[in-house]
Each structure stands twice: as structure tokens, then as C-alpha cells.
Structure 1
Amino acid sequence: MLLFHLQGTPVSCGSCFRQPTYTSSTTVLEAQTSQSQAQFEHEVGVTPVKVDIQVTPEFDTQSIFPGVGSAQRDDDEDDPYGGVIYKYDDAVVTVYVPKRWDGYSNGTVIYTGGNTWSGPTHMQEKRAKVRVRVWSPSDFPCPDFSTTHPVQTGQGTRSFVELVHGLGTVPEYVTVQVRHGSSGWISDGVGYVMTSAMTSINTSWGGVLYAYNESHVRVWIPSAYSGSLYSSADGWGRKYNEIQNSGTLFVKVWKYFNGDDFFSKTKVIGSKATSVVKEMTFTSPTFNTDQGLLSVMVKSTEGPNANFYFPATGAVQNAQATGSYGGLVYSYSTSGIKLWQPPRNHGYLIYVNDKWGGGAFKQSSNSALLVVLAWNAYSICPTTVATSSTMVPPSTSTVKTSAPAKIMAATSGKQPTASLIGQSSILNTSSLVGQTSKSNSNPPLAGATTSTLVNVKGGNSIKNSISSQPDTFQGLSVDLPWWAVGVAGCVTLLLVAGTISGIVLCILRVKGNGKVEAKDKDHRVRAKGKDRVGVKSHKKQAWEF
């Protein structure tokens, strides 16, 4: 079992994907009113491994839009925008929809880009139903790779981070969570850039942009102007709310996601598609929107980010007639997904500009591949996993450390975990260029580990990268055949005693149960435990930190 310590509480990951621990009731939010903000008490007790916001029009149950990790627009410009921004901690999830602060009242809960973006329909809803789903770490299978890294906005070229996961194949699932400063608040990374061309020092916008391939996770931090790691300020919720400029990344990667496989499909979209792709239908049976998990990714097929996967999003935040922006917007239902693409003349499916990561790996491209994966939840984890998703448990026992929580990183093999434009940080010393990682008073999120992960046949073996106390072996219990025990007892007693009494004692010993038992039973328990692990190959890994 994989154990994490989050805010002093042991947290274990699971062996498969299960239904969310918490699902809220439906709440109606309305933009530009006092109903533009809500808080949901999930009471999971630990920082969630996954939070999903489901946004549905009041009169259209077949269009569920996901929430958005950060605002990239405020109310300073007279142009429409939309979405539901969210953040969370170990007790609550807070959501915001647009509400004028000191500018224009153009924001709505749902917005698909009007006539500027191409899609199956135009949607601009001021009111919508919102539901929150929360998965605890035990609801997800153990990640194959996890790491942390400190981040800071406005650092120029140092605002780009490249992490080596080294799994050798494109992961089925990746999460990037951002802890806000020294607080317990968390927001999620994004895969789009929709900032306005008129962004200035007075504009509020933010986000952590990421993408991944078979060996790396790339992360772009806002590097110029007023960009933040997270923003819900100036045009969201009932007050000005917040921006956050420093924090810690928590990255988790699943090589194979052990869920009940429901759907998997790829399709060419963008400039090389024969037509504009607006919908994709699931195969039967229906997708469980109450318990299932959906991954919609855009794979770049050219340019400096070729073969990297960017996550799609749930709302349009820029539909201006000029200026460049990018991303892919989607909604889903039990039967399929709907897609909205940016304008071809100045919008892009893959877009990274010089306001992010100091301009590292800039790209403006409409050549892409749509990649959709969906899993329904297991009610009971299978005892054996499908061949393509088999996770072989390591033989290493629990790794323990009494060291204080620190900002640390882990990676498969011995490769560097992070590089910033040609510079690398070594294991357990992840840092910004020119800076040394320091002790962090905040404990790591579930999924962060101080151990080196070594991929073995689709699973992980754990190589301890810090000193730990050796296990103590205190006793032994071995079952032998009764006759072997008898003969050994006879020979021993005859040699020592050489008397008839020895023979009598021997006979009495033979009539016993034939079990030689040491005084201490602790080692017996451990030995039997090893046997059990050997038999039940689906047993989960064990880490503790």
C-alpha cells in the first residue's frame, strides 16, 4: 500500500479507479449576481487527488462542461468570457463565476465563443447548474511517478520547467496541482492560453500551462506582466478575490490508469482534418457521468511541442476578432462529447506565447490530434489487472523517514527531475535556476514522495534515497515434517544425554505437532507477510514519508 502523510494524516492510494468519495448536490449559480460564488464542504479530510466541476445548462442535461483551473480574463475589456473557476483544500471546494468588479458585465457561466469559435451550437448561459465531485487518494490507483517543484511567476526564462518522468510511453493520465504559497489551497493546471492581446500590468490573469509526452512533463509559468499561478480576481465571484504568484507544483503520472476502460479514440482535428470536427460519439454502453472520469487531450503533431499532449478545457475566455489565443473547449454527456475550436485565421489548437515560460517552446499551430479516454469506476477493484494496465508491486517494504517535510522530487531511474532551459536540478533538490530548494513547513500533497522510483514491468520498485532505520528480525517459525523433527531430536538427545531418558524424550517429541518455534513471534508475522505478498500479486505498493 502506498502511504502518504498529508498535514500529519497518513493517506493511502488505492489499487484501482473508484467512484468519488464526495459528490455534491446540484447548485444553481448565476453570473453578475450574488449567486456568483459557492463553497462545497467535501469533508474528505485530505487534499483530494482529483476535483471535477460539472457545469450544466439549466435546460440541457446533455452538455456537461468541466470547470476551469484559473481565470485568464478579467472584466477590464468589453468582450464576453465565461467559465467556472475553482480551488480546493482538504475540507472545501470554492467555485466562482463571472461578476463585474470595476469593469464590464460581459461574463457568463457558460460561453462557447459565439460566432468566432466553431462548434455544434452557440451557448452563452448566465445561469447554470453546478455539481462538484471529489476523489480522495484512495479512490485512485497509485501513480507511477510523482514529484514536487517550487515555482514563481515573473522569472523570465526561469519560468519554464521540464520534468523527466522517464516512463518510456505516453501516460494514460497526468495531473498537475498547484499549491498556493504556504496555504493549503490548491488549483489545477491548464492546457490553453486565452489571454487578451491587450494584457497589461493592470490586467488580472493566470494559470499553470502544462503538456506531456512519453518521457517529460513541460510546465510554463506566467513570466511577464501581471500573470499569476492562479487568478479569480477582478471579475469573478462576489469580491475581488485573489491572485497567487508563488507556490509548489505537484505532478503525478499514471502510465496505465487502472479504471474500468470505457472508451478510447483518436481523431485528426484542425488544419489537416477533412472537415471541422464538432462531435464524437461514445460506443455503447453509456458513460457514467456520476462516477466516471473523462480525459480530453490535444496532441500537437508538429512544431517544438510535437507529440506533446495538452488538456482541453470547459469554457471560452477569449473570442476577440483580433489577437492570438488558443485551446480546445468541450462538453460531454452519457453518449459523447461536443467540441469548440478557435478561429483558424488567428486562433490555434496549440498555442504558447512569450508571456509563458519566458517564451520557451513557443508555438502557434492548428495541426493536432484529438485523444479521448474514458473510464467508468470499479465498485470493487479487480484482483488481477488487464495486461495493458498491470502494475507489478515492488518487493521493497515500506520506506520510512523521520525527516521534516521538504520540497522534493522523484523520478523513474536516475535521470534529473527538472530542467530550466538547459539547467537541471538533482533528485531531492528541485529548485528554480540559481536557487536552492529549502525546507517547506507544509507537508507534501498525496502523491509526492522522497524516494527514487524505478519502473519495473509496468510498476514501480522503490529505491530509498534517504537514510532509514533497518527492519529488525526478531524470531523465526518454520514448519518441518514430523519425522524430520523427531530424528533431529533423537540424535541430539542421544549425543547429549546418551541415556534411555533421552530416547523417551525423543519419542515424546515425535508425537508432538512437529513445529519448532522461536521465542519471538514478530519475525514469524513478517515471514508470513512476505509469503502473502508473493501469492497476492495485486497487493498495493507501500511508501511512507
Structure 2
Amino acid sequence: MFAVWTSLFVVLSCSGTAIGYQFPVPDFESPWLPFEAQAGKSKAMREIPHGLNEVPFIVDVQVKSLDAPNKGYIFQATGGIPRDDDEPEPYSGVVYIYDESKIIVSAPHHGNGANNGYAIYTEDGNYYTGANNQSSYSVDIRVRAWRMSSLPKADFEKTSIPMKAGNTTYRHLRAIVSDVYRDEFHGFNEYPSMILVRMNLTFTRGKLTAMADAVGANFVTYRDNIYRQNYHIVHGVSKNRIRVWIDSQYRAYIFAGYDGYPISFFAVEGYLEMYAWKPNTMAAQEYSQTLLGPNVPNETFEMPYKNNVLNPFTRVWVRSNTGPNAGFMFLGSGAMAYVKTVRDSVCSYGGLVYAYDTVNIRFWRPTSAINGGLTCVSHFFGNGTNSQMSTDAEVVIRSWGVDSISEYNLVIVQLYNSGHEIMIGNC
């Protein structure tokens, strides 16, 4: 196995500010809140007012496991629906959307199919392999949000890009590629340290109503079916480009929460927004990488990851080294969803699942039992442009600290206890 663990080196100014980048105190932060899948809508969904009177810029929804074997580990909520409830296989994923007044968070909840959705589900078996097995309905969630004005200005920004899911009127017409696929040049000539891709969703009557963050892979890909649809946006980023795919099939959606999630909202079109920050603008305070895949010798699914940063904001990507998206990184998540039947000729399901605490980080990946991959871009998305499935990929992990009132003292104590070097600038 190949692994690189870059030592954490933190510089503290006289004011206690950590360098690399330290996220400021969130403009909104909820307490840890109880949440439960399959226990009625009041427990499986929350509308959390954020009080910002504007659409938050970055939203972070953390899902904490209350049960073994991942007790205390944080799974990342996702901005797209992983799957509906019309399949017999288990699935998981806490999802969210947001607007100028609230953040809506939902766990799986029985609609009209099987009662098999969990807040956290992990599998070390036939269709996923990884650190362990877990099936949990009850979790705690925490929501953090920042205004645009609270964060560094993005080094790349492109907004108001119209996109529309596949043709809604005539089955025989193919979607226009520019409606369902975008390839934009950010021009950094290096990987962004941080990236945000999201869709300002349009309800059927044309009013902009909510924001959905893009995901990093097709969770489960459905062929056009009146009862089964794909409800997420896929994106990837390279040293110079950002690519975005949405469903190009007949009767396609960008987002819908009716079936398996109690979010009464759907959208078939919207306006894409892209933001990226260079490493010298939002440098991670902790960085590491490794390889995962069935062809990786001595593959491991748990690694030491001492989050010496305060209140970590952690993101994990998989980087494809082959195929039409070679060099592109795709975001991981805390959602696991699969089907045992091949749905797509390229990739039926996929994506990296990860969770972390203050000591370790854990991984789960699709197996090669059917066409599931760490990189998964279905040919049903983007009219098949640059579709790809890869089973092996490089994993890139970045973590930032988040300020709090007691940030200075806690960072000093954490660094002292960990044996890391501390430098204090001249006062």
C-alpha cells in the first residue's frame, strides 16, 4: 500500500490564529441534535432556522454515530439523494438542502417501498468492503454554516449557469449536452484546496427556492422509470478544470425528496454555481493521502488521523488516475447505497464512504462484484460525456480547524500533547 502522511505544522500568530487556514466561528452552529431514520417525519427531518437572512455560502452537516463499531465517528451528510426506497437492498445517507432562512436535513424515511433506509449504514461484504458493518437508525447531527462575507474570496467563481435535466416531454429526444454537462476552466494549474459546487434549484413554477450541493459520484444509477429516478448532481475537479454532470434521461430530476426521504420538494432545472480556492488561500492544516482499490497491495481501511485542529472540517476526495477523467478528484460522503442488479453499462453505483474521529479515519469502497466504483459517472448523466467507472483510486484527505471562543488555548494544548512544533510570531 502507498501512503503519505504529511506532518502537521501549525504557525500561531500572537492573536492565536492558526496557519494554514482556520475557518472562522460559524455564523450559525446548532447544538448536537437527536435524529432518527424510519421513526416518523418529525424525527427523520428537521427544518433548522439559521437566522442569517441570506443563503449560507458553506454548509457543513455532520452525522455522529451513537453505536458501535463506529461510535463517536463523524459521517458527512450529502447534498443529493443517494437512492429511493423502492429496492430491497439497505442504504443510508443523511441529506440536506438550504435557503435564505433554513437548512432542511433528512434521514431516510419509508415512503412507498421497503423500510430499509438507515441514518448510518456500512458494509464489509459483497457490494462494499471496508472497516466494519453497522446499521443504525439513531444519530446526532450538527449543522454549521458560514456567510460568503465571513470567508476568503474564492480565487475562481462562476455562477448563474443554467442547467436542465433530461427532456421532460419527448422520450425520443436526447438532452442538449450543455444542459446536462459542464466543463469549466478554473486555470489554477494546481489542485484547489477547497471547492464548492452547488445548484440554485428551480421549482416547477420557475421560482428559485433552494440550494443543493453537488456530490462526487453516482450513488445508484437508475434507467428512466416513472417510479425510480436519480436525484443528485455529480462533480469533479482537476488542476485546471471543474466538470459537472446531471441526469440526461427522459423525466429526469436534479433533486427530489419524495420517495424514501420526507423532503417535499423537487426540481428539474436550476443555476449552477462554482467556487474554488487555491492552496495559499485556504491551505489545509492537516493533509494526507493513500490508495484504495481491489488491486492495491495491503489495502487498509483504517488509518491514524490525529485531528490536531480544533473542531475539524474534514473533506475526502478520490482521484482517478485513468480514463477520461484522469487527474480529476471526486468528493466522498457518508452515504452508502447500492443495488445488486446492473443498472448502467458504465457504472451502477459508487463513491467513497468515510468517517473520522480525533484519532482515526475509516473508509468503505464498492467491491468489483458488479460495476460499482470509487469513481462512478454513469452514461445516463451528461449524455454519456466522459462517463467512467474506476475501482482503484488515490484518496486525498484535507482537514481545517474551526474557530471557537476558546480556540487559542485548546489549540495550544492539543499541539503540546501531540508533540508538534509550535511557533509563535513576534508580538
> TM-score by structure 1 length?
0.63
After TM superposition, give the deviation of residue 197 of structure 1 in Å. Answer: 5.2
Gaps (5+ residues) in structure 1? 1-14, 382-545
The one of 82, 88, 103 aligned to 1:72: 82
Q: Which residue of 1 aligns with 2:60?
A: 52
> Sequence identity, in percent?
29
Is 2:337 the counterpart of 1:317?
yes
Is 2:305 the counterpart of 1:282?
yes
The one of 384, 406, 426 aligned to 1:359: 384
After TM superposition, give the deviation of residue 117 of structure 1 in Å. Answer: 1.1
Q: What SS does the corresponding residue of 1:201 show, helix, strand or coil?
A: coil
The one of 111, 127, 133 aligned to 1:122: 133
Q: 1:157 to 1:64 in 2, by over 3 A?
A: same
Question: Where in structure 2 are the equivalents of 1:137-536 lying within 5 Å?
Answer: 137-148=148-159, 149-154=161-166, 155-158=175-178, 159-181=180-202, 182-196=207-221, 200-237=225-262, 241-256=264-279, 258-259=281-282, 261-283=284-306, 286-288=308-310, 290=311, 292-320=312-340, 322-323=342-343, 324-346=348-370, 347-377=372-402
Retained in 1: the 8 A contact 2:27–2:147? yes
User: Structure 1, residues 133-166: CA drift from partner, whole Å, max 9, x if none?
Assistant: 1112233211001011111000253311111111
Retained in 2: the 8 A contact 1:179–1:249? yes
Distance 1:276 1:321 in 2: 27
Distance 1:257 1:201 in 2: 47
Q: What SS does the corresponding residue of 2:149 show, helix, strand or coil?
A: helix
After TM superposition, give the deviation of residue 277 of structure 1 in Å. Answer: 2.7
Range with bigger deviation, 223-232 or 366-375: 223-232
The structure with more radius of gyration: 1
Q: Which residue of 2 aligns with 1:134?
A: 145
Retained in 2: the 8 A contact 1:228–1:243? yes
Gaps (5+ residues) in structure 2? 1-20, 167-174, 408-427
Q: 1:207 to 1:196 in 2, by over 3 A?
A: closer
Is 2:52 the counterpart of 1:30?
no
After TM superposition, give the deviation of residue 187 of structure 1 in Å. Answer: 0.9
Instruction: Specify which structure has the bigger relative contact order, considering alpha-carbon pairs within 8 angstroms and separated by 6 or more residues.
Output: 2
After TM superposition, give the deviation of residue 41 of structure 1 in Å. Answer: 1.2
> TM-score by structure 2 length?
0.80
Retained in 1: the 8 A contact 2:130–2:364? yes
User: Structure 1, residues 246-276: CA drift from partner, whole Å, max 9, x if none?
Assistant: 1011100101264574311121221442133
Q: 1:273 to 1:139 in 2, by over 3 A?
A: farther
Distance 2:335 2:23 in 1: 27
Retained in 2: the 8 A contact 1:71–1:206? yes
After TM superposition, give the deviation of residue 218 of structure 1 in Å. Answer: 0.5
Distance 1:259 1:251 in 2: 16
User: Structure 1, residues 270-326: CA drift from partner, whole Å, max 9, x if none?
Assistant: 14421333122224x6343x3x32120100000100000100011112153655321
Q: What SS does the corresponding residue of 2:264 show, helix, strand or coil?
A: coil
Retained in 2: the 8 A contact 1:113–1:319? no
Q: 1:142 to 1:264 in 2, by over 3 A?
A: same
The one-letter code matched in structure 1 to 2:25 is Q
* Deviating 4+ runs (over 3 angstroms): 196-199, 257-261, 377-381
> Alignment length, in residue pairs?
363
**What is the root-mean-square deviation of aligned Cα atoms in Å?**
2.3
The structure with more strand, counted as a fraction of residues: 2
The one-letter code matched in structure 2 to 1:262 is Q
After TM superposition, give the deviation of residue 101 of structure 1 in Å. Answer: 1.5
Q: 1:22 to 1:47 in 2, by over 3 A?
A: same
